[in-house]
């Protein structure tokens, strides 16, 4: 992670383990400023915020939260993270069957993200952090949950790099996650079909 941060201008961090999710915080400025996006689940996000604030993360309570409480918790902790690390442009929180929560300075899903040398990712943003919750479509025939998050994020990043809007990129990501969940393969071989799938949002 450290090598990536010192060599790249735009970094999207996809945590894979709540116990290791906050380890990137050991990286000091200015290298930490390369971090522009994170896509933790709620367990990982709470661990990150706990390390940032020097508190303990209460993870067991998530299992007893209802849908609205989970969404509210994702928004609260996502905003907290962005307030503590001001180089971050957006936080995408995956919340299982309840979909995703996008926390960013730009909540216009029909906008594009420029990754070029004049990218707005380096500009000082407005002081208002905005949030968007996107429900996950109902998924039948659940076969395998392993890999769904990676497919979601991989397809979103692919869409953004291909100059798709944020909305279109999220559509691609949700399609890719659905295909992964319905496949015995962690990354389904037909994942390229996400470009041809009907819209979900």
Token duo for residue 178: 């659905």
**Is residue 49's pLDDT more than 80?**
yes
The structure tokens 């990129």 sit at 169
In this prediction, residue 50 carries a pLDDT of 95
Among residues 2, 168, 13, which one has the least CA distance to residue 89? 13
In this prediction, residue 146 carries a pLDDT of 77
Query: Under a CB-based contact definition with an 8 Å cutoff, are residues 50 and 76 in contact?
Result: no
Residues 158-181, mean pLDDT to the nearest whole number: 90
pLDDT in tens, 77-127: 999 999 999 889 999 999 988 999 999 988 789 988 887 777 776 665 667
In this prediction, residue 15 carries a pLDDT of 94
**Is residue 61's pLDDT more than 60?**
yes
pLDDT in tens, 141-163: 777 777 788 889 999 999 998 88
Residue count of the chain: 201
Among residues 50, 54, 89, which one has the least CA distance to residue 73? 50
**Phi, psi at 15, each rounded to 5°:** -65, 155
**Is residue 57's pLDDT more than 80?**
no
Pick the residue with more confidence: 24 or 2?
Answer: 24
**Is residue 182's pLDDT more than 60?**
yes
The runs of H, that is alpha helices, within the chain are 2-7, 42-53, 67-84, 148-161, 166-181
In this prediction, residue 92 carries a pLDDT of 97
C-alpha angle 84/41/77, rounded to 5°?
A: 30
Query: By CB neighbour count within 10 A (0-12 exposed, 13-18 middle, 19+ buried), where does 176 fall?
Result: buried
CB atoms closer than 10 angstroms to residue 2: 12
- Beta-sheet pairing, 11-13 with 35-38: parallel
* pLDDT band per the 50, 70, 90 thresholds, residue 75: very high
In this prediction, residue 126 carries a pLDDT of 65
Residues 69-77, mean pLDDT to the nearest whole number: 97
Name the packing angle between helices 148-161 and 166-181 (round to 10°): 150
Residues 167-181, mean pLDDT to the nearest whole number: 89
Mean of the per-residue pLDDT values of the chain:
86
């Amino acid at each position: 992670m450290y090598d990536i941060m010192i060599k790249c201008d735009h970094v999207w961090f996809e945590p894979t383990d709540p116990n290791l999710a906050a380890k990137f915080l050991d990286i000091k400025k200015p290298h930490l400023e390369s971090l522009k996006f994170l896509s933790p689940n709620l367990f990982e996000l709470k661990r990150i915020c706990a390390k940032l604030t020097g508190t303990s993360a209460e993870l067991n309570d998530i299992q007893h939260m209802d849908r609205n409480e989970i969404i509210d918790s994702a928004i609260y902790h996502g905003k907290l993270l962005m307030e503590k690390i001001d180089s971050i442009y957006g936080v995408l929180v995956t919340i299982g069957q309840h979909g995703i929560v996008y926390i960013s300075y730009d909540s216009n899903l029909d906008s594009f993200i420029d990754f070029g040398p004049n990218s707005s990712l380096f500009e000082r943003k407005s002081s208002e952090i905005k949030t968007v919750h996107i429900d996950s479509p109902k998924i039948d025939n659940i076969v395998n949950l392993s890999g769904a998050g990676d497919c979601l994020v991989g397809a979103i990043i692919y869409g953004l790099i291909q100059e798709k809007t944020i909305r279109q990129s999220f559509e691609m990501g949700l399609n890719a996650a659905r295909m992964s969940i319905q496949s015995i393969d962690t990354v389904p071989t037909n994942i390229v079909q996400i470009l041809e799938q009907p819209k979900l949002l």
